């Protein structure tokens, strides 16, 4: 069951001569956890803004091809409608929190949708619970750490009960443990609520264990798509210059020395396990 | 700068804080109008000190004093100006008390609105604006502005730090040079503000801003019986003041 | 040399950001300061060029107490590159931007010209010399901010979170660049929470938490201390995490480099295979 369908997408920003996205074709199924990565300037940020209509409606420009999200053609529906199906979490925690308390921020989207008060209250409680920030409900944004702010942003998006959540480098400003917490929260949304996740990331070491699909972009095109174990182990990924997760890099280096571990590991646990097996020979 | 401390909301849970913001605004306005009714020192002093119990109940006395301290410069100016203007008057003793009254009137104004801002959260202010049928865009602009004041203040400080770290010396030079020295501060600040508003707009769009013509709200202000009570008392006192103004001779104090 | 002696610092709003920090950084060292957000790292480095003066204790840069010198005087020696390059860019052209600091420090016109050329070349910005700083990409703006600080050749250079938002290749280039700066006898101090980046640089690591220094030593020792690292909201490098899970196999516990890891594991596996 596909939830996002992209056909022959070519997009050029307003005032730009060359297209930023070139003939992209992609199908994402419901329930997938996709990591979208690639070198700076490859178009991943642009691409994910096509999913909730910011492109073309907010940014203008020339959109060729089709992007269909939850059955809606992005070109024909405003972002205010699309954002009920696709939630978006931005990189900078500060600039996506508007209200003076966490509760009000999480309620913001629901108020915009004109829902009844008890429905709003129910959903706010639920979203705060799923992101484990119920104890912060009365706090003001400037009282929160970056990691807490991002969880508020996720809760605000979650409250709208979207089918897809797109996160654009949400952990850039966060320290490793806070980043890990964010990935755990997002993963829970994926496994428990079956929300499709599209995560744009550079910090692949921490994020790769949660994904079941990786898409690598370069120069406005998709050049690799598949399971993390295959994609990151490939020659192409290495040449593109993305940060291959260290566990996979170690697998590759050992293989160069003639040591073939049983499969490609993506967590330290798996790697340790495989090394033990190799030593039992 | 310090006068602004007296306008910033101080979180607490006092009876004054819990009053409906519209009621508090009403009371502040009535105090203001009453202050204008009287030129005499005695009633204005009463009006000023009558606010003290409210300030104490609200536990905002320290911040309230700060705003008065800041306003006192203007109060002194008003006093002196009135003295100068009334210098030629035969009843100079009265001129002094009149000038003092004018200064006190100004302080009454500052005091009442300071009390309002100190005990009303920007959230509640925003709600009050909304429920007063002001278009949502303006209410949102207001609460967002308040939300970002600390952020912008921080950013301004960081920009100053960054430019000072490149050798910019803001305290040196003649007047023109000093004004020019602020360009490296203002430009990043303005560019940053523009960038920030674009990001905010993106985020707002992504949360269905504008999806429905009529927004609903998680919270709404509801007038409680205490609110009605305060309104009635305030009106009664105001009518009393009007009566006194029209029918009673107020003793003039000569200093 | 930077000497920090029992420094306490409280912000005007009452937050105590530094609580008794004592640290010494010799000339030519390469040091990273790490810790959770709010640990006091940025507060500490702002003391190095006098932006902040200690509430208690003292900070000495090359023998001068920072309280006796202006920020401009200290910045001549200690170049601080802030996390967000957009906080400093304001000029009409890239050249002007680089010249700004040089002018402030009173260099004469011919020297300014020369230094601007040098900085443009060093950071690969020559083609953009007449462009507006605001037209550059994020990565290019970061390079410009760096160029504008390096232009006056400070002997101590402090980088605050230089890896945020950078992709893998950009980080490789940054690492090489920093190594080069350090090889040229400049003291380099980097504030970061990017553990993998630090693992590949192998500098001296100072860990901070809640305004205090909790650890100080060479990277292989500090980054492999799981308990201390997690206490400051950091995770040891992936390679270290693998070795921690193999700690019962008599492998060294201070491995942070992937090539070293490979050597050791290869040797061990081959040995096991040949038995």
Q: Say if residues A14 and A61 touch (Cβ distance below 8 Å).
A: yes
Question: In whole angstroms, what is the distance from residue C160 CA to residue C164 CA?
Answer: 10
The answer to whether B8 contacts chain A (CB < 8 Å) is no
pLDDT of the residue at A281 = 57
Question: Which of helix, strand or coil describes residue A200?
Answer: strand
Shortest alpha-carbon distance between residue A65 and chain B (Å): 22
- Compare all CA atoms of chain A with the CA of B141 and give the residue at the minimum distance: A98
- Compare all CA atoms of chain C with the CA of A176 and give the residue at the minimum distance: C234
pLDDT of the residue at B255 = 63
Provide the pLDDT confidence category of residue B127 given band limits of 50, 70 and 90.
confident
The answer to whether A259 contacts chain C (CB < 8 Å) is yes
Model confidence, pTM? 0.88
Candidates B151, B167, B198: best to mutate against C (most CBs of C within 10 A) is B167
Length of chain B: 255
The contacts of residue C28 (CB under 8 Å, 6+ apart) are C182, C185, C186, C187
Which residue is listed with tokens 């909730």? A52
Letter string b/e over residues B39-58, b meaning 16 or more CB atoms within 10 A of that residue's CB: ebbebbeebbeebeebbeeb
Provide the pLDDT confidence category of residue C165 given band limits of 50, 70 and 90.
confident
Length of chain C: 275
> Which of A49-53, B16-20, C147-151 is predicted with the least confidence, judged by mean pLDDT?
B16-20
Chain C residues within an 8 Å CB radius of A39: 167-169
The answer to whether C258 contacts chain B (CB < 8 Å) is no
> Which of A192-196, B6-10, B152-156, C67-71 is predicted with the least confidence, judged by mean pLDDT?
B6-10
Chain A residues within an 8 Å CB radius of B151: 94, 142
Question: In whole angstroms, what is the distance from residue B31 CA to residue B11 CA?
Answer: 24
Answer whether residue B91 shows pLDDT above 80: no
pLDDT of the residue at B5 = 60
Average pLDDT over residues B105-130: 87
Q: Which residues of chain B from 213 to 232 reach within 8 Å of chain A, CB to CB?
A: 214-219
User: What's the pLDDT tens digit per position in C96-107?
Assistant: 999 999 999 999
User: What's the pLDDT tens digit per position in C13-60?
Assistant: 888 999 999 999 999 999 999 998 889 999 999 999 999 999 999 999
pLDDT of the residue at C251 = 86
Average pLDDT over residues A153-163: 96
User: What's the pLDDT tens digit per position in B166-215?
Assistant: 999 988 888 888 888 999 999 999 999 999 999 999 999 999 998 888 88
pLDDT of the residue at C162 = 94
Q: Say if residues A86 and A77 touch (Cβ distance below 8 Å).
A: no
Q: Say if residues C7 and C18 touch (Cβ distance below 8 Å).
A: yes
Average pLDDT over residues A149-177: 95
Strand arrangement of the beta sheet that strand C16-25 belongs to: C16-25, C2-10, C56-61, C64-65
Q: Which residues of chain B from 91 to 110 reach within 8 Å of chain A, CB to CB?
A: none
Shortest alpha-carbon distance between residue C134 and chain B (Å): 9
Provide the pLDDT confidence category of residue B7 given band limits of 50, 70 and 90.
low
To which H or E segment does residue A72 belong? strand A72-73
The answer to whether B206 contacts chain A (CB < 8 Å) is yes
Shortest alpha-carbon distance between residue A228 and chain B (Å): 29
The answer to whether A60 contacts chain C (CB < 8 Å) is no
Tokens of B252: 């003039």
Shortest alpha-carbon distance between residue B118 and chain A (Å): 16
Chain A residues within an 8 Å CB radius of C139: 40
Q: Do A90 and B203 touch (CB under 8 A)?
A: yes
Mean pLDDT, chain B, whole residue set: 86
Number of A:C CB contacts under 8 A?
112
Letter string b/e over residues A258-267, b meaning 16 or more CB atoms within 10 A of that residue's CB: ebebeebbbb
Radius of gyration of chain A (CA): 20
Provide the pLDDT confidence category of residue B149 given band limits of 50, 70 and 90.
confident
Number of B:C CB contacts under 8 A?
63
Number of A:B CB contacts under 8 A?
108
> Between B57 and A128, where is the model more confident?
A128
- State yes or no: cis peptide before B71, omega within 30 of 0: no
Phi and psi at residue C212, to the nearest 5°: -125, 155
Answer whether residue C3 shows pLDDT above 70: yes
Provide the pLDDT confidence category of residue B221 given band limits of 50, 70 and 90.
confident
pLDDT of the residue at B92 = 66
Shortest alpha-carbon distance between residue A128 and chain B (Å): 15
Q: Do B200 and A54 touch (CB under 8 A)?
A: no
pLDDT of the residue at B101 = 87
Average pLDDT over residues A131-159: 92
The answer to whether B140 contacts chain A (CB < 8 Å) is yes
pLDDT of the residue at B172 = 80
Average pLDDT over residues C198-218: 95
Chain B residues within an 8 Å CB radius of C104: 166-169
Length of chain A: 281
Q: Say if residues C161 and C190 touch (Cβ distance below 8 Å).
A: no
pLDDT of the residue at A125 = 96
The CA-atom distances, in angstroms, between B226 and each of B27, B124, B221, B254, C249 are 13, 17, 13, 41, 74
Q: Do B206 and A52 touch (CB under 8 A)?
A: yes
Shortest alpha-carbon distance between residue C121 and chain A (Å): 22
Chain A residues within an 8 Å CB radius of C235: 176-177, 180, 206
Q: Do C72 and B161 touch (CB under 8 A)?
A: no
Mean pLDDT, chain C, whole residue set: 93
Average pLDDT over residues C226-237: 93
Candidates C88, C103, C142: best to mutate against B (most CBs of B within 10 A) is C88
Chains that touch A (3 or more CB pairs under 8 A): B, C
Q: What percent of chain A has pLDDT over 70?
A: 100
Q: Do B218 and A160 touch (CB under 8 A)?
A: no
Tokens of C3: 């000497």
Answer whether residue B43 shows pLDDT above 90: no
pLDDT of the residue at B139 = 86
pLDDT of the residue at B4 = 61
The answer to whether B201 contacts chain A (CB < 8 Å) is yes
User: What's the pLDDT tens digit per position in A93-113?
Assistant: 889 998 888 999 999 999 999
> Which among C54, C32, C51 has a CA at the least distance from the CA of C208?
C32
> Which of A126-130, A138-142, B28-32 is predicted with the least confidence, judged by mean pLDDT?
A138-142
Provide the pLDDT confidence category of residue A154 given band limits of 50, 70 and 90.
very high
User: What's the pLDDT tens digit per position in B51-76?
Assistant: 888 888 888 888 888 888 888 888 89
Average pLDDT over residues B88-94: 68
Answer whether residue B3 shows pLDDT above 70: no
Q: Say if residues C34 and C203 touch (Cβ distance below 8 Å).
A: no
ipTM: 0.91
Shortest alpha-carbon distance between residue A204 and chain B (Å): 25
The contacts of residue B165 (CB under 8 Å, 6+ apart) are C49, C51, C71, C75, C79, C80, C82, C149
The answer to whether B169 contacts chain A (CB < 8 Å) is no
Radius of gyration of chain C (CA): 21
Q: What percent of chain C has pLDDT over 90?
A: 86
Average pLDDT over residues C224-232: 93
Of A57, A97, A160, the CB nearest to B208: A160
pLDDT of the residue at C204 = 97
Helices and strands per DSSP (H, E), number in chain B:
12, 0
Q: Do C249 and A281 touch (CB under 8 A)?
A: no
Answer whether residue B9 shows pLDDT above 90: no
- Compare all CA atoms of chain A with the CA of C231 and give the residue at the minimum distance: A177
pLDDT of the residue at A199 = 97
pLDDT of the residue at A205 = 92
Q: What percent of chain B has pLDDT over 70?
A: 94
Q: Do B161 and C70 touch (CB under 8 A)?
A: no
> Which of A122-126, A245-249, B38-42, B73-77 is predicted with the least confidence, judged by mean pLDDT?
B38-42
């Amino acid at each position: 069951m596909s939830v996002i369908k992209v056909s022959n997408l070519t997009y050029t920003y307003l005032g730009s001569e060359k297209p930023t996205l070139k003939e992209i074709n992609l199908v994402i199924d419901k329930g997938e956890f996709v990591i979208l990565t690639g070198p700076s300037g490859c178009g991943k940020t642009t691409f994910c803004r096509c999913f909730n209509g910011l492109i073309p409606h907010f940014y203008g420009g020339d959109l060729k091809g089709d992007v269909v999200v939850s059955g809606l053609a992005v070109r024909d529906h405003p972002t205010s409608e699309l954002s009920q199906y696709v939630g978006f979490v931005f990189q900078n925690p500060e600039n996506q929190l508007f209200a003076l308390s966490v509760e009000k921020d999480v309620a913001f989207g629901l108020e915009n949708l004109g829902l009844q008060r008890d429905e709003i209250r129910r959903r706010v409680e639920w979203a705060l619970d799923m992101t484990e920030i119920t104890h912060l409900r009365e706090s003001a944004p400037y009282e929160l750490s970056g990691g807490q702010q991002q969880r508020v942003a996720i809760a605000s998006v979650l409250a709208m009960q979207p089918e897809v959540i797109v996160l654009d480098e949400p952990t850039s400003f966060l320290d490793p443990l806070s980043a890990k917490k964010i990935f755990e929260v997002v993963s829970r949304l994926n496994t428990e609520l079956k929300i499709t996740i599209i995560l744009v990331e550079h910090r692949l070491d921490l994020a790769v264990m949660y994904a079941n699909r990786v898409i690598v972009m370069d120069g406005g095109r998709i050049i690799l798509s598949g399971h993390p174990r295959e994609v990151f182990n490939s020659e192409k990924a290495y040449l593109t210059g993305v940060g291959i997760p260290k566990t996979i890099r170690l697998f590759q280096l050992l293989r160069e020395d003639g040591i073939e571990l049983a499969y490609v590991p993506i967590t330290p646990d798996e790697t340790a396990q495989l090394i033990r097996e190799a030593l039992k020979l | 700068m310090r006068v602004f401390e007296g306008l910033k909301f101080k979180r607490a849970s006092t009876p004054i804080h819990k009053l409906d913001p519209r009621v508090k605004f009403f009371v502040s306005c009535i105090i203001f109008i009453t202050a204008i009714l009287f030129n005499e020192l005695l009633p204005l002093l009463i009006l000023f000190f009558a606010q003290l119990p409210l300030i104490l109940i609200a536990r905002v006395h320290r911040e309230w004093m700060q705003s008065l301290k800041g306003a006192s410069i203007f109060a002194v100016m008003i006093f002196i100006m009135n003295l100068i203007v009334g210098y030629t008057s035969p009843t100079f003793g009265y001129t002094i008390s009149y000038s003092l009254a004018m200064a006190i009137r100004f302080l009454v104004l500052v005091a009442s609105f300071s009390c309002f801002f100190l005990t009303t959260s920007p959230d509640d202010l925003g709600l009050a604006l909304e429920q007063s049928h002001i278009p949502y865009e303006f209410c949102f602009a207001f609460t967002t502005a308040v939300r970002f004041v600390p952020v912008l203040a921080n950013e301004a400080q960081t920009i100053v730090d960054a430019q000072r770290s490149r050798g910019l010396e803001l305290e040196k030079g003649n007047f023109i040079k000093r004004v020019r020295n602020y360009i490296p501060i203002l430009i990043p600040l303005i560019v940053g503000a523009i960038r920030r508003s674009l990001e905010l707009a993106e985020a707002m769009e992504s949360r269905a801003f504008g999806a429905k013509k009529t927004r609903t709200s998680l919270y709404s202000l509801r007038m409680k019986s205490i609110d009605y009570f305060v309104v009635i008392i305030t009106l009664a006192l105001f009518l009393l003041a009007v009566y006194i103004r029209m029918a009673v001779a107020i003793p003039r104090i000569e200093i | 040399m930077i000497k920090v002696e029992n420094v306490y610092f409280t912000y005007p709003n009452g937050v105590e950001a530094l609580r008794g920090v004592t640290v010494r950084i010799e000339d030519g060292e390469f040091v990273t300061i790490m810790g959770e957000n709010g640990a006091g790292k940025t507060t500490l480095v702002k003391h190095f060029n006098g932006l902040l003066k200690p509430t208690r204790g003292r900070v000495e840069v090359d023998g001068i107490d920072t309280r006796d010198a202006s920020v401009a005087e200290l910045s001549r020696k200690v170049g601080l590159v802030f996390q967000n390059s957009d906080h400093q860019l304001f000029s009409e052209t890239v050249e002007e931007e680089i010249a700004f600091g040089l002018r402030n420090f009173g260099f004469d016109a011919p020297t300014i010209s020369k230094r601007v050329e040098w900085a443009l070349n060093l950071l690969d910005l020559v083609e953009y010399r007449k462009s507006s700083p605001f037209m550059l990409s994020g990565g290019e703006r970061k390079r410009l901010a760096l160029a504008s600080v390096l232009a006056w050749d400070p002997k101590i250079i402090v980088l605050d979170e230089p890896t945020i938002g950078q992709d893998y290749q950009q980080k490789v280039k940054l690492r090489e660049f920093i190594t080069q700066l350090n090889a040229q006898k400049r003291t380099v101090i980097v504030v970061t929470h990017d553990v993998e980046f630090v693992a590949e640089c192998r500098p001296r690591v100072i860990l901070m938490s809640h305004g205090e220094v909790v650890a100080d030593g060479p990277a292989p020792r500090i980054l492999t201390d799981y308990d201390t690292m997690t206490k400051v909201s950091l995770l040891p490098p992936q390679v270290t995490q693998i070795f921690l899970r193999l700690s019962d196999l008599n492998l060294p516990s201070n491995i942070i480099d992937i090539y070293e890891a490979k050597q050791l594991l290869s040797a061990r596996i081959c040995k096991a295979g040949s038995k």
